[in-house]
Amino acid sequence: MDNFTFKEIAAFIGIFLVLVLALFLLTVKTKNKLSNCLLAFFLFTNALDAIKFLQHGFPVNFINLEALRWSTNYVVSALFYLYVLSVCYTNFRLKLQYLTHLIPFLAFNAFMMWGIYFSDRPAKIKFINGMNDMPLMQFFLFLFEVLFQVYFIASFLAIRKAKKVYLENYTNPNISALNALYKITFLYYVLHFIVLVRWLVTYIFGIGEIRAWIVTLDGLAFLFCTCWYLFVALNNPEFFRGVNSDLKPIEEIVSEEKTSPKIDEEKNTQIDSLKEFMIKNEPYLDSSLTIQNLAEQVEMPVKDLSALINLYMDKHFFDFVNEYRIEKAMQILKDSSQKELTVLEILYQVGFNSKSSFNTSFKKYTGTTPTDFRKNPK
């Protein structure tokens, strides 16, 4: 089996998996329909692009379809960016303004109409043979690269912001899902880097053995990315949980205070009152507690409470609440009358909903595991 055949097999498997996953996302019943549809269309455009690995020469009998396939490259990055937003934010909705993302796709198709779509076959072939030397085509190639970089940088920033908002406003946040999304974004970026290497090798050495091996690597990377996404989705059943997009990182809300937050008597009183409320009322036992819920309970504006915890107490809301949960768990673990309770039962009782999150927080706070602490309570 030579490398070309191996490339075709890898590409065929990858395309098949992508299409099956896209079909599943479009038909499955879920409250995350928009997110699923955006991902399905993104995967479908990737499958269209991967058809190049199965081609033997230029498809002269399907020139119009091939040109249309080229044009999908100008929408794939935008689809991925919108998908990232839909995962990061629960209240994400498509708006008319997002139609502006289609402008490069429509512009390239207008270019294809002029040279390919409405021309006869000899004119099409002549146009294609000289296309790479056309300034307008070079502009579109440059535009594609710029769009890719802008959208993927925007995706990284959106994920980072969502993660920060999670920590500042939620307990038991789904950080693992955001980390997985970050890895997927990085993998697709690496996949594009291989494409850039292929273009560079083609420009310097032309079409030869080196380029053939890079194309094979490109096909394998496409298959790997597809399999990786399936793996991540299977291991993160709550992958589509997000945050409210109206929430902002604390430094954006109170940026004027962030440079030098001073703790005066009023702030000390508020901090003491908050700590007393947490001990007396134990709101942290609610696993779905958010900063909005706590703000309502302590009768304080969300902005002020967020500033109090994140700036003046120098803690994420996530860490602030979980410290009380860990203290409660420690009391239970020390209590010999409750030794029949399992660690799993305890973590649910004190407000956690994930064993991994509980173990991580417990070790961070105490320096040991819950099991070891129960054997040797400090």
Q: What is the pLDDT of residue 105?
A: 95
Is residue 35 classed as helix, strand or coil in its secondary structure? helix
Helix segments in the chain, DSSP class H: 3-27, 33-50, 63-71, 73-88, 103-112, 121-131, 135-169, 175-205, 209-235, 250-253, 255-258, 265-281, 291-298, 302-307, 317-334, 343-349, 355-366, 370-375
The pLDDT of residue 304 = 83
Which class in CATH covers the domain with range 3-235? mainly alpha
Domain ranges of the chain: 3-235, 250-375
Those residues of the chain that have pLDDT short of 50 are 1-2, 237-238, 240-244, 256-260
Q: What is the pLDDT of residues 110-134, one digit of tens each?
A: 999 988 999 888 899 899 888 878 9
Q: For the domain with range 250-375, which CATH number is right: 1.10.132.10, 3.40.50.300, 1.10.10.60, 2.40.50.140?
A: 1.10.10.60
Instruction: State the pLDDT at residue 260.
Output: 47
> What is the structure's pLDDT at 316?
81
Percent of the chain with pLDDT over 90: 12
Residue 333 DSSP code = H
Render pLDDT for 61-76 as a digit per residue (tens, 0 to 9). 888 999 999 999 899 8
What pLDDT score does 248 carry?
Answer: 58
Q: Is the pTM of this model over 0.85?
A: no
Q: Do the beta carbons of residue 233 and residue 36 sit within 8 Å?
A: no
Tokens encoding 166 = 């999670």
As given in the structure block, the two tokens for residue 152 are: 């993927």
